[in-house]
A and B are shown apart, each in its own frame.
Chain A
Amino acid sequence: MNRAAFAEFAGRFAESWVAVASLVVTVLFLACALFAPWLSPTNPYDLARLQLIDALKPMGSPQVKPGEEIRANFALTQGQLIPEANATDFEVEACGANCFIVGLADSSAPLMSLQLRGLARDAIVDGASKHPIQPWWTLNAPENNQGKVSFETAPADARVEAIARTDNQPTGFIFQLGSDAFGRDMLSAILYGIRISVFVGVAAAGSAMLFGTGLGLLAAWRGGATDAMIMRAVDFTLSFPAILVGLAILAILGSGVEKVILAVVLVQWCYYARTARSLALSELNKEYIEAARGMRLPAWRIMLRHVLPNCLPQIIVLFTLNIASAISLESSLSFLGVGLPLTQPSLGMLIANGYEYIFSQKYWISFGPGIVLLIMIVAMNLLGDRLRDLNNPRFES
């Protein structure tokens, strides 16, 4: 298409704001798919980043870092509490006879708890609760991160352990769309899910286009028995629902990206074959084809250089419509658990993952991917419809 024709086409396309909006949305989704690793706030598949504490957080929750433990040992000798080598963070102060104040040197970040272990049973730790059996005293949210230990009589020698637990700290990261059962950020998971869904959808619809168009052209060119066989195969394929074909293929072959692509090709090739055949037949009747025959051009050249480019606009329209249906087929199969492997979590699998939590009000795990999938498919369909309308001769001025 040359520039003037393209400008005219673009002008007619822009007459419908719905079409423009759907184009914008589709382009945004394609950008998400291409740039997901750079756009997404976290890498949802970096297992090292996942922590159980983040699991099933609703939308907008902050991520927290679990508290840390600082352990230190002390030797209680002759009424003195002497820090050992690992107790550099701690400070011991005497407060009279048989009395110590033990604590963290740094009191700026308040501790969640301070536990002292190994004291004699007659120890008095102010404000602490003692473990029912073990000689452990626990101070919750100790003032100044310190605890006061005193004894009625001079204590026997012992080895004392102090365990300071810091509180959970917000990391500053917000789960904008909540998190799933593994503590994965749903926003990141959705961006990666779009990437996987779009890539698989485009690859599958593209393979179907190549295969189906090729067979359609072959049918148109050869005619006769070849044509009849290909077209009966088209009728046969069309008589099965897409999801059934997909389920059957994946049930036999197992899941996997290339198997999903194969399933989509087997479902969709017939639309391309039928369209390409009928377009090619009408092109083959035109005089420019007779001119090409008169030039004694080889048949493959006539089909590929003369017939195919004239069929291409409508085939591309079909392609845009079929990407959407390839994505939805893949999502359906993945939702049913037979589509992509667990290592390739597409939108359909994300929806499936959240499905079991929907009834416990944890709707966001399925909701986000579901809405995104819906918007993407609607936008691609509207875009394809508009392109088809523009390609329809009835709309031509």
Chain B
Amino acid sequence: MQVVQTVFQADEVSRVFEPARGTIEKLTDRLTGKRPAIVQAVDRVSLSVAQGETLGIVGESGCGKSTLARMITGILPVSGGTRRFRNEDYDSFLARRRDALKVQMVFQDPMSSLNGRLKVGEIIGEGAVVHGIVPRSRMREHAAKMLERVGLAADSIDRYPHQFSGGQRQRIGIARALAVEPELLVCDEAVAALDVSVQAQIINLLMDIRQESGLSMIFISHDLGLIRHLCDRVAVMYLGRVVELAKTSELFANPVHPYTQMLLAGMPRISTERRTFMPIKGEIPSPLNPPSGCHFHPRCDRATDHCRISRPDLREKVPGHLHACLNA
């Protein structure tokens, strides 16, 4: 196995959301001894991305993919755990604002992810100008270059986002990320909101960019077909936890975790069909009140009493193939 440099590494990162409480509510909570309901959106997740690698993250809606993506890009702070960028502590990395641009994100919603009040040229060029990557006088030129790189006309810089289609807007979002020369690109369901035909174009664009620049990528999706097509390794998430992490070929060939197995069983064979999750038996439990022990036990047909009590940690089945199931 050849030694490759790790670009990004997360160690047991967690994120809890507390409902916003006013002063009065906080006081009454304290007096009555009630604890406000918290959401453990991401629960002790560890993963890493190597130079030039594409890591896939797959999971149902609400399992914490976007929260994880925002922690990876430094948009959200972590509630626990550590992040490292090229082996540097993430907080000191983020403090060097210009260097912190090396991790960029492409967002899910092509509508709300672009500021409708700014012209496209400004949207793309602002970060580079603010951080002195290009002087303000060359912002338009820089933005035009980025637009061409993502397959849009250079004269789009003077138009507003609402004058573009969803696919074009997603290209603008990609151009914005590329404009600050990132080394790690996190794509959070970047094509989920688009038509299937447009999805393919955007996927091809991302693959081209990856090939040209040797960018590392984290590709988040609930679409197993896309993940299989794009990623070198895949992490499967369930209710805030990573339940299986392996090379793509290995994961699709030998899924170990019962949840992964059910996902793959629900995946249509014919790739022309729209590839989304087939309903898995049982409800998705509420993240406000997750099941004890292994979160998956209410839906798992291999569940034992042990599963209801203890939390399964990630363990290696074969080298490089991690899973979190007590009975696998």
Contacts and interface: CB of A to CB of B under 8 A. Distances in A.
A310 B176 CA distance: 20
Given A296-B100, A297-B126, A310 B117 contact: yes
A295 B176 CA distance: 9
Q: In which size bucket is the chain A interface?
A: 10 to 19
Nearest to A306: B115
Nearest to A228: B23
Interface stretch (A148-156, A286-294, A350-358): A286-294
Given A228-B22, A228-B23, A291 B130 contact: no
B73 interface: yes
B75 A290 contact: yes
Interface in A278-314: 286-288, 290-298, 301, 305-306, 309-310
B74 interface: yes
B115 A295 contact: no
B220 interface: no
B176 A291 contact: yes
Contacts of A298: 130
Contact of A309 (B104, B113, B117): B117
Interface in B170-199: 173, 176-177, 180
Contacts of A293: 75
A294 B117 CA distance: 18
Given A287-B108, A310-B115, A310-B117, A294 B23 contact: no
B250 interface: no
B131 A287 contact: no
Contacts of B101: 295-296
B21 to A, nearest CB: 11
Contacts of B100: 296
B225 interface: no
B105 A310 contact: no
B107 A296 contact: no
B224 to A, nearest CB: 24
B313 to A, nearest CB: 31
B127 interface: yes
Contacts of B97: 296
Interface SS of chain B: helix, strand, loop or mixed? loop
Interface in B113-169: 113-118, 126-127, 130-131, 160
Contact of A286 (B112, B118, B173, B177): B112
Nearest to B130: A297
Contact of A290 (B105, B160, B177): B105
A360 interface: no
A259 B133 CA distance: 48
A324 B118 CA distance: 31
B161 to A, nearest CB: 9
A301 B131 CA distance: 12
Most chain A CB atoms below 10 A, which of B97, B104, B130, B180: B130
B22 A288 contact: no
Contact of B115 (A2, A288, A296): A288
B73 A310 contact: no
B109 interface: yes
A301 B130 contact: yes
Contacts of B98: 296
Contact of A294 (B104, B112, B130): B104
Contacts of A301: 130
A287 B112 contact: yes
A288 B117 CA distance: 11
A294 B116 contact: no
A293 B173 CA distance: 14
A81 to B, nearest CB: 92
Given A296-B97, A297-B126, A310-B117, A291 B107 contact: yes
Most chain A CB atoms below 10 A, which of B97, B98, B108: B97
B70 interface: yes
A173 to B, nearest CB: 53
Given A297-B126, A297-B127, A301-B130, A291 B116 contact: no
B22 A287 contact: no
B203 to A, nearest CB: 20
B146 to A, nearest CB: 13
Contact of B70 (A2, A290, A306, A310): A290
Contacts of A228: 22-23
A186 B112 CA distance: 56
Contacts of B115: 288, 291-292, 306, 309-310
A292 B104 CA distance: 11
Most chain B CB atoms below 10 A, which of A286, A296, A310: A296
A295 B22 CA distance: 31
Contacts of A287: 107-109, 112-113
Interface in B42-85: 70, 73-75
Interface string A30-50: 000000000000000000000
Given A291-B105, A309-B117, A310-B116, A2 B160 contact: yes
Interface in B88-107: 94, 97-98, 100-101, 103-105, 107
Contact of B113 (A2, A291, A310): A291
Contacts of A286: 112-113
Contacts of B160: 2
A294 B130 CA distance: 13
12 contacts: A228-B23, A286-B112, A287-B108, A290-B107, A290-B113, A291-B113, A293-B75, A294-B74, A294-B103, A295-B126, A297-B130, A309-B117
4 closest Cβ pairs, A-B complex: A295-B127, A287-B113, A309-B117, A296-B97
Interface of B: 22-23, 70, 73-75, 94, 97-98, 100-101, 103-105, 107-109, 112-118, 126-127, 130-131, 160, 173, 176-177, 180
Interface of A: 2, 228, 286-288, 290-298, 301, 305-306, 309-310
Given A291-B113, A295-B180, A296-B94, 18 more contacts: A2-B160, A228-B22, A286-B113, A287-B108, A287-B109, A288-B113, A288-B114, A290-B113, A293-B75, A294-B105, A294-B177, A295-B126, A296-B98, A297-B127, A301-B130, A309-B118, A310-B115, A310-B116
